Structure 1
Amino acid sequence: MNTIEDLCDRLKGYLPAEEIQQVRRAYYYAEQAHDGQKRSSGEPYVTHPLAVATILANLHLDHQALMAALLHDVIEDTGVNKEAISQQFGESVAELVDGVSKLTQIKFESKAEAQAENFRKMVLAMAEDIRVILVKLADRLHNMRTLGALRADKKRRIAKETLEIYAPIANRLGINTLRLELEDLSFQAIYPMRYERLKRAVQKVRGHRKEVVKKIQNRLQERLDQDGLSGRVVGREKNVLSLYRKMKHQKKSFHEIMDVYAFRVLTESVDDCYRVLGSVHNTYKPVPGRFKDYIAIPKANGYQSLHTTLFGLSGMPIEVQIRTREMEAMANNGVAAHWLYKAGQTERPIAEGSHARARQWVKGLLEMQQRAGDSLEFIEHVKVDLFPDEIYVFTPRGDIMELPKGSNAVDFAYAVHTDIGHACVACRVDRKLAPLSMKLESGQTVEVITAPGARPNLAWLSFVTTAKARSAIRHYLKQQQRTESEALGRRLLEKALLQFDVQLEQLAPERLEQLAQEMELDSVSALMASIGLGERMAYAVARRLLDQQKYEEKPRQDSSSAMIIHGTEGMVISFARCCRPIPGDSILGHISFGSGIVVHRDTCRNLADIRDNLDKCLPLEWAAETEGDFAVHLRLVIEHQRGMIARIATLVTEMDANLERISVDDRDAKLSTLTLELSVKNRVHLARVMKHLRLIPEVGKVVRLR
C-alpha cells in the first residue's frame, strides 16, 4: 500500500519542494474529511484518492491536478463544499474537483440518465480544463483495479461503462497505457472465464515462440547495425481484449491470430524512421497494401508511426511499427505527454500539438452537447465519435480532412463547417458527380456543391456516420419543426378564436404569457408550437384564453372557413399514405398528436369515425398557387404486348409526370395488372395523364387507387 511519503518521493523527480508541500497538505485535508469512511474492501477511504494521485504522478501531472486527485471525492462524499476547497487550495483546484464530482443533489429518473448527465457535466468542465478528464480516468482506473469487493452485477455495469466511454476517451486522448489497462480490466470483469482462458493460452504460446521471436528480433537488429542505423528492436505484446476482438470480428481461431509476430523499432529521428523502413523491407519482403504512414498523416489522437507487414520465415506474417522515442512517449501518454515534457522543462511541439488536438476534440464535444436534445442523446453521439477508424480525404485545395471509416460527402461537408453541411445539395468525388450517400475512401478528393436556401434532409440521418453531422442535422430539423409548428399553431388558434368572433391580435400579450405559464410551458412560442404539433387542441386553448362564463353557452360552429394549405408548410403538414391526396381533391386535416396535421381526402375511410369531431378534424382547402409534386397510385389492366411497359413509361414522362415505381401482376395468359406510382402537379394534371393512358389501344382500364 502506497503512503503519502511514497508519493512525495516520486514527485521529487519533477516538482519543486513548495509544490510537493501543497500536495502533502491536500492529502492531510482529504484524510481528515474522509475520516471514518471505508471502501467496500474495508480499507480506509483515503487510500483511493492517494492511489489516483499516484497514477497521475506516473504521468508527471502538475501539483494542482495531483491536489484535485487527492480531493476529488471530498465534495461528493463529505460535508465539504466547493467554496471551502477554493479558500484552502485556490480556484483552479476547486474547479477541477467540482468537474470530477457527480451530480448528487439532483434526482434522476434512471441510472442511465444520471450517468449521461454526469458525463455531460464532466465534458463542460473538460472544455475549461482538460486535466478534469485525466483525473477522472485515473479515478476510474483505480476503481477498476479494486472491483473485487463489489457485487457481480455492479462489476459488470461499471466495466461496461468503462469499455464504452472511458477506455475510448483514453484512446482518443492518446493515453495508451491507461487505455490498455482499462480494457483488460473491463474484459476481465465482464467475461472472467474467457479472459482467464485467453490469458493462459497467450502465456503458453509465448513460451513456445520465444526462440522464433528472438531469431527474428536478432536478424532485424543485425540488419540495422550493418546499415549503420540507430534503432532498437523490441517485441510487442497484444492485449487480451484486442485478441478477443480480432478473433470475433475476423472469425479466426486463436492460433491464426497468434501466428502474427509483432515488433517495434525505436529510432532517434523521423529521417531514421524512413531509413529503417527501407532496411526492414530489404530483410523481409513487404506484404503489398499493408503499409501505413501515420507520421505524414497522424491519427486523430496524435499517434505517429510507420506500420508495415512482412513475409517472414516460411511465409509467417511479421508486423513492424517504426517510430522515434518521442513518438513512443506520445503513443503511451498522449495528451499527458504535454505535462511529461513540461516537467522536463523541454517544450516539445509534438506534445503541444497533441494538447491542441485534444482541446479541438473537446470543443467538438461541446458543440454536440449544445445541439443535443438531452444528455442521453448526447452520450449516444459521443459513443459514435469515440470509435473512429479513420480515412483521409482531400479538399479541392489539397487540405487533408480526417473522417471515420464509412463516412460520406454529408459527413465531409459538416466536418468542413456546419453551414456548408446544411446547404449541401450534391458532391463531386475525384471531379465526378457522386451520390451524397456514397462511402468515401482514403486519398479521394471531395468537393461539396451547395445551394442557397437548401436545408438538411431527414433521410440523411439514415446514412451519416459522424456524430457532428448527426447532431447538427437533428438540431436543425428540431428547430425547423419548432418554427413550422409555431406558425401552424398560431393559424389554428386564430381559426378557433373566430368561433367566438375574436381575433388573436385583440388579446393582451400578458394573457397569452399567463396561459403558457398555467400550462407549464416556458413561452408563448412553446404554446403555439404545442398546438401546431397537435399536443393541445386549439379550441380548448381558445376557451381558456377567453372568459369561459361569457362564452360557454355560445354554440360551436362547424366553420365553413377552411384553412388554406400550400403544400410547402414543411414537417408539420404531411400527406396521408392511405388515400394520397393531391391538389384539386376535397380534403380534411386530421390533427395528430406530435405530428401536426395529416392531410386526407375527405372520402378517406380512415376518417369515418372522427370526421365530425372538430377537435380532431378540420376542413382544409388547397391554395390556388399550390406547387410541388404529389404521389398518386394508378392501376392499369393491359393486354400482353412486347414493349408495353416501355411505351407506358415513355408516355408518362412525355406528360411531364414522374414514374416513381411500377409493379406487374399477371392475371391470365392475355391480361396483366400494372400498379404505377406517379408524381403529379394536381388533379387536372393527373386527369390528363389518365386520358392519354386510355388512348393506348392495349390499355383496357385505368383507375386511381383510393
Structure 2
Amino acid sequence: MMRQYELVERVKAYNPNADEALLNRAYVYAMKAHGTQTRASGDPYFSHPLEVAAILTDLRLDDATIAAALLHDTIEDTDATRDEIDALFGPQIGRLVEGLTKLKKLDLVTKEAAQAENLRRLLLAIADDVRVLLVKLADRLHNVRTLHFVPASKRARIAQETLDLYAPLAARMGMQAMREELEDICFKTLFPDAYDTIVGRLNRLAERNAASIQEIQSAFEERFAAAKIEAQITGRAKRPYSIWRKMERKSVAFEQLSDIFAFRVNVADVPNCYRALGVLHTGWPTVPGRFKDYISTPKENDYRSIHTTIVGPDHQRVELQIRTEAMHRFAEYGIAAHALYKDGLGGDREGLTRESRAYGWLRRTVELLAEGDNPEEFLEHTKLELFSDQVFCFTPKGRLIALPRGATPIDFAYAVHTSVGNGCVGAKVNGRTESLVKALSNGDEVEIIRSDAQTPPAAWEAVVVTGKARAAIRRATRSAVRAQYAGLGRQIVQRAFERAGKTFAEERLRASLHRLARTSVEDVLAAVGRGEMHSIDVVRSVYPEVRDERPQTSQGMAAPASGWFGLERAASLRFKAPGGEPADGERPSIPIRGLRGDLPVRFAPDGGAVPGDRIVGILDPGQGITIYPIQSPALKDFDDQPERWLDVRWDVDLAKRERFPVRITVTSLNEPGSLATIANIIYAYEANIDDVHMVSRSPDFHDILFDLGVFDAKHLGAIIGDLRQAPVVSNVERVNG
C-alpha cells in the first residue's frame, strides 16, 4: 500500500506548488475513518481510495481532486458527514465528495432501478463539476482491476455495466487509455475464452512479424530524416476488445483484419503533421477511403490526429496516426489533460467549457433531460451519442455538423435547429436533390428546403438516428394530436353552449379555469376532445345555473361521459344504429350494469373495463355486446365497421360491491417473497386475483400479469398506487387490451 509521503511526492512531481498539508490531512483522515474495514480481497479498505488517488495522479489532476479521491467513500461508508468534510477540507472538496456519495448510492440500487434512470442521474450528478466523473472513472477502474475478488454473481453485472456506461463515458471524455483498460478487463471477465484466443493470436502475430515491423519503422525514420522532420515513431497493436468488436460488427475473421498493427508518428507542431503526411503519401501509395483529418475537424471529444493507410514496404497495408505531443497527451488522458486542472484552477468550470468540446457535449446531453418525457427516451438519446461513429457534414455556409454514422438529412436539419427540422420538406446534398432518408457521408454539403406549413410526419421517428431528432419529432407529433383534440373539443363545447342557450366566449372560460383544474383554454378543449371531461361541466363552470343534462345513475349521480363514440362524439360523427337508419345528434346510450345485467354483456378479454372508465360497446352478432375502455388498442380492429359501435354508459349500484375484470402488469424484483408482498397488497384492498401469469424472467426482474376483480376505477387506482410504493416493485401499468 502506498505510503503518505509517496502520494505527496507523486503529486509534487507534476505540481511543485501542491498543498502538501491538504494531502496529508486527507490521507490521515481517510485512513482513520475507514479504520479496520476490509475489501473483498481481504486488503484494508483504505487501499481502495488510495489507489484511486494514485490513478488520478497519473492523470496529473489538482490537489482538490486527489483529496476528494482519498475521501470519496467516507460519507457513504463511515461516520463522516458533509459538514465535517467542509470544515476540515473546504466546501469545494465537500461538494466533490457528496457528488461521489450520490453516485455510490446509485450503484447500490442498480438492480432495482432501470439502466436509463441510472444514466440520467449519473450525468446530472457530474454536470456541475466534471471532476466528479474523473474520480468516478478512476474508482470504477480500480474496482474492475480487483473484479476477480468479487463474487461471481455480481462480477458479470459490474462488468456489463462498465462496458455499457463507464467505458463509453471515458471515450466521450477523450480518455482513451482508461477506456481501453476498462474494456479489456470487462471483456476478459464476460468472455474469457474469446479474450484468451485473441490475446494468443496477437502474441503469435507479434512474434512472426517482429522483423517486418522493425523494417517498416526504419523505412519511415529514413524518409522523415531525409525531409528533416523530427518524428518519434512507435508501433502499437489493437486492443483485444477492439478486435473482438470489429470482428462482431463486420462479421470477419481475425485473419481478415488489416489494421491489427499500426504506427503512431509524433511531431513537434501542426505544420509538421502535414509535412509528415506529405512524406508518407509521396513515398508510398495510399489506400482510397482511408484518410481522415481530425486536426482540421476534431471529434466531438476533442480528439485530434491525422489517420491514413498506405501500402508500405513489402506491399503491406500500414495504418498510421500523425499528431503532436499535445494531441497525443489528450488522446491518452482526454479531458483530464487540460491545463485547467493544474495550478489550483479546478474550480473554474466555465473555463473548462470554453476549452473542452467534450465537456460541452456533456452539457448538451444534460439539456436533453428536459426534452425526453421519460428516462428510457433519455437513454435512447444518450446511447446514440455514446456509441455511434461519426460523419462530418457541412451547411452551405460552411458550418460543420457532426452526426452519428447512418444519419439522414432529417437528422442534419434537426442538428442545425429544431425549427429547421420541423419545417423540413426536402434536401439537396452536394447540390443535388436527394431523398430525406438517404444516409449522409463524410464531407457532404447539405442544404435543407423548408416550409412553414410543414409538420413532421410521425413516420420520421423510425427513420432518424439522432436522439435530438427523435425527441423533436415526438414532441411535434404530440402537439399535432393535441391540436386535433382541441379542435374537436371546441366543436363539442360550442354545441353544448348553444344547447344551454348561452354564447361561448374564451374570455369567460379563461376566468373559470380554476374550477376545471386546468391551466389554459386549450387544455380544457383538448380534455373534452379526448373524452376526459364532459362538455356540460365546461358550461356549468361558466354558468353554474345551467341544468346538468346527463342521465342519472341509480344513486342519483350523473353518469360518466361515454367517450369518443358516446354522446360527445355524436355531435361530430354519424353511425348507423343497429336495425335502423344512421343516427344523428344525441341518441340514448345503453346502460351497462355488469355481467349479471339485463343485456348479454362481456368485457374485453385482454384488459377488461371498470366503472369510471369511458367505455364503448361493440356488437357481436349472436353473442351480445363486448365492452372496451375507450383507450383500448383493440378498437382499431373495428374502425371499418361503424355499424357495430354502440353508445354505452355505466349504470351500476355501488352498494352491491360488484367486481369488474381488469388486467395489470407488475415488474417486480427477482427476490424471495416478492409475489407474496404483491398478493398481500391486493388482498388488503379486497380485490380478487383471478389469474397470474409470468410474462418474462431475467436475473433481476420478473414481469407478471395479474387478472383482477375490482369495484371501480378509483379502487383500481388505489391498488396500483400502493403497489408502486412497494420496495419489491419497479413498475405497475394497467393493460388495455
TM-score of the superposition, structure 2-length normalised? Answer: 0.69
- Match of residue 203 from structure 1: 203
Cα distance in 2 for residues equivalent to 1:85 and 1:480 = 52
Any idea what the Cα deviations from partners look like across 1:529-571, whole Å, max 9, x if unmatched?
A: 677556x5759999x998999994378799977555599xxxx
Q: Is the 8 A contact 1:175 1:332 kept in 2?
A: yes
Instruction: Provide closer, same or farther for how the CA distance between residues 428 and 88 of structure 1 changes in structure 2, counting only shifts above 3 A.
Output: same
Instruction: Provide closer, same or farther for how the CA distance between residues 500 and 44 of structure 1 changes in structure 2, counting only shifts above 3 A.
Output: farther
Q: Is the 8 A contact 1:230 1:268 kept in 2?
A: yes
* Aligned residues: CA RMSD: 4.4
Instruction: Provide closer, same or farther for how the CA distance between residues 71 and 339 of structure 1 changes in structure 2, counting only shifts above 3 A.
Output: farther
**Percent of aligned positions with the same letter in both sequences?**
37
- Match of residue 20 from structure 2: 20
Compute the displacement of 1:254 (Å): 1.8
Q: Is the 8 A contact 1:493 1:541 kept in 2?
A: no
Cα distance in 1 for residues equivalent to 2:106 and 2:248 = 41
Q: Which amino acid in the other structure matches residue 308 of structure 1?
A: T
- Give matches, 1:521-560, under 5 Å: 533=530, 538=534, 552-553=555-556
Compute the displacement of 1:509 (Å): 5.3
- Match of residue 612 from structure 1: 647
Q: Is the 8 A contact 2:18 2:63 kept in 1?
A: no
Cα distance in 2 for residues equivalent to 1:525 and 1:105 = 42
- Match of residue 331 from structure 1: 331
- SS of 2:49's equivalent in the other structure is helix
Cα distance in 2 for residues equivalent to 1:322 and 1:113 = 44
Cα distance in 1 for residues equivalent to 2:80 and 2:494 = 56
Q: Which amino acid in the other structure matches residue 123 of structure 1?
A: L
- SS of 2:440's equivalent in the other structure is coil
- SS of 1:264's equivalent in the other structure is strand
Greater Cα shift, 117-126 or 524-533: 524-533
Q: Is the 8 A contact 2:62 2:341 kept in 1?
A: no
Instruction: Provide closer, same or farther for how the CA distance between residues 120 and 457 of structure 1 changes in structure 2, counting only shifts above 3 A.
Output: same
- Match of residue 41 from structure 2: 41
- SS of 2:14's equivalent in the other structure is coil
Any idea what the Cα deviations from partners look like across 1:511-535, whole Å, max 9, x if unmatched?
A: 544xx9xxxxx9999898677556x
- Match of residue 471 from structure 2: 471
Cα distance in 1 for residues equivalent to 2:551 and 2:558 = 13
- Match of residue 222 from structure 2: 222
Q: Is the 8 A contact 2:110 2:118 kept in 1?
A: no
Q: Which amino acid in the other structure matches residue 469 of structure 2?
A: A
Q: Is the 8 A contact 1:407 1:440 kept in 2?
A: yes
Compute the displacement of 1:510 (Å): 5.3
- Match of residue 30 from structure 2: 30
Greater Cα shift, 271-280 or 70-79: 70-79
Cα distance in 2 for residues equivalent to 1:81 and 1:69 = 16
Q: Is the 8 A contact 1:102 1:118 kept in 2?
A: no
Q: Is the 8 A contact 2:287 2:311 kept in 1?
A: yes
Cα distance in 2 for residues equivalent to 1:491 and 1:68 = 63
Instruction: Provide closer, same or farther for how the CA distance between residues 523 and 34 of structure 1 changes in structure 2, counting only shifts above 3 A.
Output: farther
- Match of residue 69 from structure 2: 69
Instruction: Provide closer, same or farther for how the CA distance between residues 143 and 128 of structure 1 changes in structure 2, counting only shifts above 3 A.
Output: same
Any idea what the Cα deviations from partners look like across 1:355-391, whole Å, max 9, x if unmatched?
A: 4302320121022111112223212211111123221
- Match of residue 622 from structure 2: none
Compute the displacement of 1:145 (Å): 0.8
Is 1:268 paired with 2:268? Answer: yes
Greater Cα shift, 452-461 or 391-400: 452-461
- Match of residue 654 from structure 1: none
Q: Is the 8 A contact 2:352 2:359 kept in 1?
A: no
Compute the displacement of 1:181 (Å): 0.6
Q: Which amino acid in the other structure matches residue 233 of structure 2?
A: V
Cα distance in 1 for residues equivalent to 2:510 and 2:125 = 48
Any idea what the Cα deviations from partners look like across 1:406-454, whole Å, max 9, x if unmatched?
A: 1111111111122222222222222333222221112221111222243
- Give matches, 1:312-323, under 5 Å: 312-323=312-323
- SS of 2:403's equivalent in the other structure is strand
Q: Is the 8 A contact 2:231 2:266 kept in 1?
A: yes
Instruction: Provide closer, same or farther for how the CA distance between residues 390 and 510 of structure 1 changes in structure 2, counting only shifts above 3 A.
Output: closer
- Match of residue 247 from structure 1: 247
TM-score of the superposition, structure 1-length normalised? Answer: 0.72
Cα distance in 2 for residues equivalent to 1:601 and 1:41 = 64
- Match of residue 675 from structure 1: none
Q: Which amino acid in the other structure matches residue 220 of structure 2?
A: L
Q: Which amino acid in the other structure matches residue 99 of structure 1?
A: G
Q: Is the 8 A contact 2:267 2:325 kept in 1?
A: yes
Is 1:122 paired with 2:122? Answer: yes
Instruction: Provide closer, same or farther for how the CA distance between residues 524 and 375 of structure 1 changes in structure 2, counting only shifts above 3 A.
Output: farther
Any idea what the Cα deviations from partners look like across 1:473-506, whole Å, max 9, x if unmatched?
A: 2244345545655776787789899999999969
Cα distance in 1 for residues equivalent to 2:290 and 2:333 = 26
Q: Is the 8 A contact 1:233 1:266 kept in 2?
A: yes
Q: Which amino acid in the other structure matches residue 221 of structure 2?
A: Q
Is 1:436 paired with 2:436? Answer: yes
Any idea what the Cα deviations from partners look like across 1:4-42, whole Å, max 9, x if unmatched?
A: 332211011133566232122223333333334332222
Compute the displacement of 1:288 (Å): 2.7
Equivalenced residue count is 585
Q: Which amino acid in the other structure matches residue 238 of structure 1?
A: K
- Match of residue 672 from structure 2: none
Q: Is the 8 A contact 1:410 1:424 kept in 2?
A: yes
Compute the displacement of 1:79 (Å): 4.3
Compute the displacement of 1:612 (Å): 3.1
Instruction: Provide closer, same or farther for how the CA distance between residues 382 and 3 of structure 1 changes in structure 2, counting only shifts above 3 A.
Output: farther
Any idea what the Cα deviations from partners look like across 1:600-624, whole Å, max 9, x if unmatched?
A: 999x54762x5131479xxxxxxxx
Cα distance in 2 for residues equivalent to 1:458 and 1:539 = 30
Cα distance in 1 for residues equivalent to 2:183 and 2:103 = 26
Compute the displacement of 1:127 (Å): 2.5
Cα distance in 2 for residues equivalent to 1:151 and 1:198 = 26
- Match of residue 637 from structure 1: none
Any idea what the Cα deviations from partners look like across 1:637-664, whole Å, max 9, x if unmatched?
A: xxxxxxxxxxxxxxxxxxxxxxxxxxxx
Which blocks of at least 5 consecutive residues in structure 2 are unaligned? 346-350, 542-547, 576-583, 590-614, 617-627, 652-737
Cα distance in 1 for residues equivalent to 2:104 and 2:486 = 37
Q: Is the 8 A contact 1:335 1:355 kept in 2?
A: no
Is 1:96 paired with 2:99? Answer: no
Instruction: Provide closer, same or farther for how the CA distance between residues 466 and 554 of structure 1 changes in structure 2, counting only shifts above 3 A.
Output: closer
Q: Which amino acid in the other structure matches residue 556 of structure 2?
A: E
- Give matches, 1:632-643, under 5 Å: none
Cα distance in 2 for residues equivalent to 1:393 and 1:387 = 19
- Match of residue 169 from structure 1: 169
Instruction: Provide closer, same or farther for how the CA distance between residues 111 and 600 of structure 1 changes in structure 2, counting only shifts above 3 A.
Output: closer
Cα distance in 2 for residues equivalent to 1:87 and 1:471 = 44
Greater Cα shift, 174-183 or 258-267: 258-267
Q: Is the 8 A contact 1:235 1:264 kept in 2?
A: yes
Instruction: Provide closer, same or farther for how the CA distance between residues 314 and 539 of structure 1 changes in structure 2, counting only shifts above 3 A.
Output: same
- SS of 1:441's equivalent in the other structure is coil
- SS of 1:406's equivalent in the other structure is coil
Compute the displacement of 1:586 (Å): 13
Cα distance in 1 for residues equivalent to 2:33 and 2:534 = 58
Compute the displacement of 1:188 (Å): 0.9
Compute the displacement of 1:169 (Å): 1.4
- SS of 2:646's equivalent in the other structure is coil
Compute the displacement of 1:201 (Å): 1.9
Any idea what the Cα deviations from partners look like across 1:47-74, whole Å, max 9, x if unmatched?
A: 2221111111111111122222222223
Cα distance in 1 for residues equivalent to 2:522 and 2:88 = 47
Q: Which amino acid in the other structure matches residue 466 of structure 2?
A: T
- Match of residue 364 from structure 2: 364
Cα distance in 2 for residues equivalent to 1:67 and 1:494 = 68
Which blocks of at least 5 consecutive residues in structure 1 are unaligned? 346-350, 517-521, 568-574, 576-583, 617-706
Instruction: Provide closer, same or farther for how the CA distance between residues 491 and 185 of structure 1 changes in structure 2, counting only shifts above 3 A.
Output: farther
Compute the displacement of 1:401 (Å): 1.7
Cα distance in 2 for residues equivalent to 1:152 and 1:141 = 18
Cα distance in 1 for residues equivalent to 2:179 and 2:120 = 21
